[in-house]
Amino acid sequence: MATIHVYPPYRATVGSDRLELDFPPDTPLRRVLELLAERYPPFRAFAEAPSSEFLWGQLIVHVNDEIAGLDSPVQPTDRLDLLPPIAGGEDKPPRLAPTAPQAC
């Protein structure tokens, strides 16, 4: 069985921070999401995402610490993490544009 770690906000739907799900080897991620939707109907929208890029705007699924697409094969021995999408940033604070000196 695959171990699935569930992070907020999806934890509220699942009611737990971890669950297990059984499926055959090489199951596409889309099918894993369909199986989750059978237990937790709000996951249906993720399973029906038109593309991986669309899904990633709603839900990021890591399989063994790698971002997975809808067609990515998932093994029953894999660890999955259900994470919210996040916006990136820089490692250092942004530089502010210089401003003209103000007269006193």
Give the pTM: 0.81
Provide the pLDDT for residue 42: 95
Q: Which of 37, 38, 11, 23 is nearest to 77 (CA)?
A: 23
Mean pLDDT of 3-13: 95
Exposure string of 23-56, with b = 16+ CB inside 10 Å and e = fewer, is beeebbbbbbbbbbbeeeeebeebbebeebeebb
Which residue would you say has higher pLDDT here, 89 or 103? 103
Cα–Cα distance between 30 and 49 in angstroms, integer? 9
pLDDT-based confidence at residue 86 (cuts at 50, 70, 90) = confident
pLDDT digits (tens, 9 = 90+) for 15-48: 999 999 999 999 999 999 999 999 999 999 999 9
pLDDT at 91 over 90: no
- Going from the N-terminus, what domains does the chain have, and what CATH number goes with each? 2-83 (3.10.20.30)
